[in-house]
Structure 1
Amino acid sequence: MASIMDVLELQEEGAGHFIAPAVPSQISRTFGGQVVAQALRAAQLTVSEKQVHSLHSYFLRPGDSSSPMSLQVETVRDGRSFAARQVRASQHGKLIFILSASFHLPGEQGPEHADPAPEVPGPQEAVRGGGGKLHSPRIILPEWQDWDIRLIPEPGRDSAAAERTGSGFRYIWFRYTGAVPAEQSFHQAGLAYMSDMTLIRSALIEHQGVEVQLASLDHCMWFFRPIHVDEWLLYEQVSPAAGGGTGLAQGKLYNRAGELVAMTMQEGLMRTVEKPLRAGGAHGNWQDV
């Protein structure tokens, strides 16, 4: 299993061209958060001083977890306060992913407000309350052993069934347990990696037991405050709407001080299964999309 340091260690092949390493995995498709994080990291490596404040991306084809990924970064704009980059990710000669990211010079001042953190048990209480690390292979494989991930069970919900069926949790604490650089851009990329964790599954919370074909279609993020992935972060995940074979998921990320540090939005395929799917199961199989 690769560490987040290994995941984000890109090889520069030329101006704006990077090779992202393949990451050992028990699944054939590349984890979506890995694709987002590696593409963001490539964009970051072409920007000085400014930090990412938003990204928007589309998953076009499934990634091959056994192969490296080619990342081509286009400089869209370099301004005094803002910069913009577009990253095109390819494998086996085919475009699989597109990311647009905007960077902002830190330190500028303006009005501030933010949604308050939800009142939920802390990470230690979550363990005592029956949470703990995800273990169901339908939600997680040993891909994330360097991350301490703790679920917060909800009153009246069968948490064991949610884990077993992959139907999502509304609140999750997580942190990276290994050593990471102090560089803020690295922590932002690390957060992008984990931001895909179970997010679209929150669209299944209201549909317990429904068998669906599930796959991420797009992924967006906004960064508000400094982030430290090696400290506890609370991931609040909700689904505003689902229908027509897709579901929308929204995530808010808070630090232990209750500050909103980032937000995510993701739309995913959520197609009811009417016939057996090809190998890969009902969750995240892109072959019939």
Structure 2
Amino acid sequence: MDEALDDLLDLLRLERVEEDIFRGRSRSAVVPRVFGGQVAAQALAAAGRTVPGGPDGPVAHSLHAYFLRMGDPDAPIVYTVDRIRDGRSFTARRVVAVQHGKPIFHLSASFQRYEDGLDHQAAMPSVPDPETLPTAEESLPRYADRFTGPDVVDRLLEARAAVDLRYVGAPPYATAGEPREPRSRVWFRANGKLPDDPRLHLCLATYVSDMTLLDPVLLAHGRGGWTTGDVVGASLDHAMWFHRPFRADEWLLYDQESPSSWGGRGLGQARIWTRDGRLAVSVVQEGVIRVPK
């Protein structure tokens, strides 16, 4: 297994402090704060650890979360799980992440046992195959002169080393200054083989879901993003609905768009598709996006 992916999986193997209390550490990020996707994935992992049945038990079908404060990457994060409900079909959990005695993140998640039901979905968009697109190692160095510092490319590559993420079109930093359609599509998968535990695959998708979801807001205004210094921002809230089983170590298409930005906030909404066209996940996020004065 790739060393970076193994390190990411180790972040999700939270230390159990008490029956419903867990401790997690952080990894390096592009900005000097804890990456939001990491906190969300760890909180979902903590919630899952308290759900009966293990990998064969209920799996998450939705989560709703708020980012309350910036996380300190040099301090551990304590996750306290509240067992809201254990039902025959659905199980509900609430998780609060705390650092330095203050909550930095709040998550509510619902888990469901598999059952048959009605089945329909939207059609997957037509896009190039991921193998035809440049890797991060191939594309990022081309834009090194557009980032705020000489080491940004290295930090971006390190932060995303556990995930193979490939843009279908040009990313915001490639076309800064040129407003475009507020839509961005990326293929992604874990950089290595994952265990079969379905809850782990949900956590990996949750981790990645916070990487690029606000890109369409930047594209609409010709902004390059936080790495170019023409905006500052952070995630405010995040919601996901897991529709169908998927593997995060197989290619997934992240189709993202932004219907609105106003008042220092921008909204991103997205669908995640398996390569064979199954709608796996829906995602919505709002973030703070401000133009430096």
Task: Give the TM-score range, shorter chain.
Answer: 0.7 to 0.9
Q: Does 1:38 align with 2:42?
A: yes
| 2:113 equivalent among 93, 105, 117 | 105
For 1:132 and 1:229, how far apart are their aligned partners in 2?
Answer: 22
> Kindly tell me: are residues 134 and 237 of structure 1, through their superposed partners in 2, closer, same or farther at Cα, counting changes over 3 Å?
farther
Q: Which residue of 1 aligns with 2:148?
A: none
> Kindly tell me: are residues 95 and 27 of structure 1, through their superposed partners in 2, closer, same or farther at Cα, counting changes over 3 Å?
same
Measured after TM superposition, the shift of residue 273 of structure 1 is 2.1
Measured after TM superposition, the shift of residue 159 of structure 1 is 7.2
> Kindly tell me: are residues 26 and 254 of structure 1, through their superposed partners in 2, closer, same or farther at Cα, counting changes over 3 Å?
closer
> Kindly tell me: are residues 169 and 127 of structure 1, through their superposed partners in 2, closer, same or farther at Cα, counting changes over 3 Å?
farther
For 1:250 and 1:61, how far apart are their aligned partners in 2?
Answer: 22
Q: Percent identity?
A: 41
For 1:114 and 1:103, how far apart are their aligned partners in 2?
Answer: 21
Q: Does 1:233 align with 2:268?
A: no
| 1:124 equivalent among 131, 156, 175 | 131
Deviations for 1:175-229, whole angstroms, at most 9, x for unmatched residues? 1122321100010111111110111122111100383321100011000111211
> Kindly tell me: are residues 45 and 175 of structure 1, through their superposed partners in 2, closer, same or farther at Cα, counting changes over 3 Å?
same
Measured after TM superposition, the shift of residue 158 of structure 1 is 8.2
The two structures have a TM-score, normalised by structure 1, of 0.85
For 1:192 and 1:105, how far apart are their aligned partners in 2?
Answer: 20
SS of the equivalent of 2:250 reads: coil
Measured after TM superposition, the shift of residue 162 of structure 1 is 5.0
Q: Does the 8 A contact of 1:134 with 1:151 survive in 2?
A: no
Give structure 2 stretches of 5+ with no counterpart. Answer: 144-151, 225-229
Measured after TM superposition, the shift of residue 231 of structure 1 is 0.5
Deviations for 1:236-285, whole angstroms, at most 9, x for unmatched residues? 110011111111000110111011100110000112322xxxxxxxxxxx
Deviations for 1:142-194, whole angstroms, at most 9, x for unmatched residues? 1111211111126xx9872259x9x9861101111223211000101111111
Q: Does the 8 A contact of 2:232 with 2:291 survive in 1?
A: yes
How many pairs align? 269
Q: Does the 8 A contact of 1:24 with 1:66 survive in 2?
A: no
Measured after TM superposition, the shift of residue 25 of structure 1 is 4.0
Q: Does 1:209 align with 2:223?
A: yes
Q: Please provide the CA RMSD for this pair.
A: 2.7
For 2:288 and 2:51, how far apart are their aligned partners in 1?
Answer: 33
Q: Which residue of 1 aligns with 2:88?
A: 80
Deviations for 1:82-115, whole angstroms, at most 9, x for unmatched residues? 0100000001111100000001111x12111111
Q: Does 1:5 align with 2:12?
A: no
Measured after TM superposition, the shift of residue 24 of structure 1 is 3.7
Give structure 1 stretches of 5+ with no counterpart. Answer: 275-289
| 1:90 equivalent among 92, 98, 115 | 98
Measured after TM superposition, the shift of residue 26 of structure 1 is 5.4
Counterpart residue type for residue 94 of structure 1: K
> Kindly tell me: are residues 253 and 81 of structure 1, through their superposed partners in 2, closer, same or farther at Cα, counting changes over 3 Å?
same
